[in-house]
Structure 1
Amino acid sequence: METSTKPPDLLAYTDSLLTWVSGRGRILIVVHDNPDPDSLASAMALRHFFAVKLNREAVIAFSGMIGRSENLAMAKLLQIPLTPLPLIDLKSFQVVCLLDTQPGTGNNSLPAGTRTDIVIDHHPMREFSAACRWVDIRPDYGTTATILYEYLKVQGVSIGTKMATALFYAIKSETQDLGREARRADRDAYLDLFPLANKTLLNSITRPSLPREYFISLHSALEHAALYGNVLVASLKGIQFPEVVAELADLLVRLEGTETVLCLGHYSAELVLSIRTSNEEINAGELIRKLVAGIGSAGGHGMMAGGKIDLSDNSEEAIRELENLLTERLLAEMKISDPKPVPLVP
């Protein structure tokens, strides 16, 4: 069983947290690179939490980019205030929070050694998190947004339409409408928030216009996808935004007869990878960490995981060799002894 640090008395815990924060200066909330709806909604909720309870305005910072159309629509329509982390002077903040990520995971851009005071996440506990002052990590929850919803609820903080829409959409997208790794707490939050969410905004977020680059990546994924029994590996080649790798992994895992998907894409000086599985006996987080062992960083949990590898050589040949290595490691872990690739699209 993965370690959970859920406070036994959430009201007392959040009271103490608020008292501690109130005695300090500026507040910084950092989410993981290329933030998804769960991290965006969680940051929006924690910022609202501090604003209502302490009359303090926290700054939300991120690195990378927001490229996926749904995520862009969410940030814009719900007016989530975001600041690029490179523009932040870390020394001017006395409270540093990490949401939907943890110190030393490789998927956030906080410089190594930066003091982190508050960590709230639903991914498995990482080594460096134990040294932080306030740690609420619940791997048995489907989303970080659910945890933040409980903070607002237990403290009696009002939840307006845009906040409800953000939290609801985060749970909806992260758990695929409660069908993927959702627990009772996620279901309760989802049902509580649904009546409060703005359905017109939800429709605009879930069905945004898609850029041409999305279809270029989709074409590349289909063209370079290979089946190894019930495992599929797809290379998107060069990509315009990192999130498209996970987005297409979500699509390809729906292929009939396929249980596990590895998607790969080359962005800037990184190889981005994403794993999705429909087999509940496979831990995608553990699997992807084995794939990148010694060459990259990765994280995740039951049925979904992601990672990246810094590229010292951007040549097509070097990237192809790296993708072949990752494929070999995946097939070895999946115990596919006679790997004969079959093109997805003949």
Structure 2
Amino acid sequence: MDSDRSLSFSERIVARARGRRNILILTHDNPDPDALASAHALAHLLLAKTGNSPRIACGGVIGRRENRTMVERLQIAVEPLARVDVRTFDLFCLVDAQPGTGNTSLSGQLPIDIIIDHHPLRCRSEDNQIVDIRPDYGACATILFEYLQQQKVYLNSRLATALFYAIRSETQDLGREWTPPDRLAYQQLLLLSNNRVLFDIAHAKVPRSYFASFNQALESARVYREALVFNLAQIPQPDIVAEMADFLLRMEGVHLVLGMGWHRGEEVLSLRTDREDWRAGTIIRQLVAELGTAGGHGMIAGGQIRQVAGDVLAQNQLQQLLTERLFTVLGYDPEAGEALL
């Protein structure tokens, strides 16, 4: 835990928020548990220290059923960004993301005052911004938990559960890209969390389309040595691509998975690897170069390619292009691969 840094940044953030009438906290589009919990915790911190209740907004959708259950059960008040008049706010915060990286609606067009993230640094900070970016942390929620501790802000069970679930999901129960601060926060938050709510979130009921996506992932998957590529084609919500990528990474002999799916005119990409020497964020940026935007950590990454056709021909052509680029990045000779099933 970097107590001194968390104390310094949390004091600066609270000082900046004092006297502001309308505060907006933004997450990346299609927020995951880490983004949702981080925004919720920052709102709680600012309310406790300034008396001002910020609003939370995001672009895209909260599609994954576990994430929707998390929002409902833990009473996280998040609004669609399209329904928010950003002109009425005088302080903008961005959590679990950075401006200009392609996965944050409007953040590149707004005067972001406060940035809190754990992804590798990719934005240029301005002199008047407060920027706390810690790529050595496994979860953004860990940073926010440290803020709350250093500011001696009380955590109720709902907030503790949200932060715990965020760290748990982001690090896959401390099995992926965790650090000592994440483990300490995980252990402390577990004691304050509601186990029944955690169970309900992790075992949320899913719609029939969920199993159709599983079927499509399995049927479309092709294996190329240690890599696997799948295409879900048209998807009901963007989060399903990452979920299928996580699932298929469990296959013996596979150490990298590239997944794709088409949603509302945009190609959603997800890349997963269990090899620490394969930098997922670097790989996916090479795959989408001059096509779209992407970013990520060492072992997990995502990307977007906008204005893509969803018909079979266009999808096949894009999949072929991305697969060929993947061969180049991994140093593979071109091959037909083999079907998973």
| Aligned: 1:156 with 2:136 | no
Partners of 2:6 and 2:143 within 8 A in 1: no
Q: What is residue 3 of structure 1 aligned with on the other side? A: none
Work out the CA distance in 2 between the residues paired with 1:131 and 1:242.
35
Q: What is residue 141 of structure 1 aligned with on the other side? A: 137
Partners of 1:116 and 1:132 within 8 A in 2: no
Partners of 2:101 and 2:294 within 8 A in 1: yes
Q: CA deviation at 1:8?
A: 4.9
Work out the CA distance in 2 between the residues paired with 1:70 and 1:312.
28
Instruction: Point out where structure 2 has 5 or more consecutive residues left out of the alignment.
Output: none
Q: What is residue 180 of structure 1 aligned with on the other side? A: 176
Q: What is residue 125 of structure 1 aligned with on the other side? A: 121
Work out the CA distance in 1 between the residues paired with 2:67 and 2:309.
31
SS at match of 1:61: strand
SS at match of 1:128: coil
CA RMSD, 1 decimal: 1.3
**1:337 counterpart letter in structure 2:** D
Q: What is residue 78 of structure 2 aligned with on the other side? A: 82
Work out the CA distance in 2 between the residues paired with 1:143 and 1:163.
15
Q: Structure 1 segments of 4 or more deviating over 4 A? A: none
Partners of 1:104 and 1:128 within 8 A in 2: no
Partners of 1:240 and 1:267 within 8 A in 2: yes
Q: What is residue 104 of structure 2 aligned with on the other side? A: 108
- Aligned residue among 262, 269, 277 for 2:265: 269
Q: CA deviation at 1:73?
A: 0.6
Range 262-271 or range 125-134, more displaced: 125-134
Deviations 1:143-172 (A, max 9, x none): 000000000000000011000100000000
Could you state the TM-score of these two structures normalised by the residue count of structure 1?
A: 0.96
Partners of 2:29 and 2:58 within 8 A in 1: yes
Q: CA deviation at 1:312?
A: 4.4
Work out the CA distance in 2 between the residues paired with 1:312 and 1:213.
22
Could you state the TM-score of these two structures normalised by the residue count of structure 2?
A: 0.97
Counterparts in 2 of 1:245-324, with a 5 A limit? Answer: 245-324=241-320
Q: CA deviation at 1:9?
A: 3.7
Q: CA deviation at 1:61?
A: 0.2
SS at match of 1:127: coil
SS at match of 2:108: coil
Range 144-153 or range 21-30, more displaced: 21-30
Work out the CA distance in 2 between the residues paired with 1:57 and 1:293.
40
Q: What is residue 66 of structure 1 aligned with on the other side? A: 62
| Aligned: 1:213 with 2:205 | no
Instruction: Point out where structure 1 has 5 or more consecutive residues left out of the alignment.
Output: 1-5
Work out the CA distance in 2 between the residues paired with 1:111 and 1:151.
23
